[in-house]
Amino acid sequence: MNERLARLEARRASGATPAELREPPPAVTLHMKVMDRARSELDGLEPEPLDLTPEEERAALEGSAWFVETGAALLRDTTTDPDHQEAIARMEELAREDIEQPRGANE
C-alpha cells in the first residue's frame, strides 16, 4: 500500500489531473495484463511473465473462486451443446488450478 501511495503522491506532484491520478482497480490491470499476454501469444511471440501485484493476485483468486462457486453453474444452464459443456468444464478446471496455484506463483 505504501508503494501505491508513493506513486499517487508522485503523480499528484507532477500536476496530473484528478482523472489521471486515479489508478484502475486491480481486476482491470489484471485483465489488461492477461489480454496483452494473449495478444502476444496470438502474434507468435514468447509470452512475458505476468508479474502480478499482490492486489492483482487477490483479484485473480477472487475471480477464480467466483467462477467455481457461481459462474460455471450459470454458464452450464445456458447451453446443452456438449462442446460448450466440455469447454465450461475445462474453464472450471483451470479456475480450480488457479486457486490451488495462483497465476504469478511460477512466473
**Number of domains, the chain:** 1
Question: Cα separation of 88 and 106, whole Å?
Answer: 25
15 in a domain, yes or no? no
16 in any annotated domain: no
pLDDT at 32: 93
89 in any annotated domain: yes
Q: How far apart are CA 95 and CA 66, in angstroms?
A: 9
- Check residues 68 and 6 and name the one with the higher pLDDT: 68
Higher pLDDT, 23 or 68: 68
| Rounded percentage of the chain residues whose pLDDT exceeds 70 | 89
Tens-place pLDDT, residues 46-94: 988 888 999 999 999 999 999 999 999 999 999 999 999 999 999 999 9
Let me know if residue 94 belongs to a domain.
Answer: yes
Which grid coordinates belong to 51? 508479474
Q: What is the mean pLDDT of residues 85-106?
A: 85
In a domain, 13, yes or no: no
Residue 37 lies in a domain: yes
Residue 9 in any domain: the answer is no
What predicted TM-score, i.e. pTM, was given to this entire model? 0.67
Query: Domain of 43?
Result: 24-106
Domain presence at residue 1: no
Summarize the confidence of residues 27-33 as an average pLDDT.
92
- What's the CA gap between 15 and 20, in Å, rounded? 10
Hey, CA dihedral for 17, 19, 25, 31, is it positive or negative? Answer: negative
Distance CA 87, CA 82 (A): 9
- Decide if pLDDT at 24 tops 80: yes
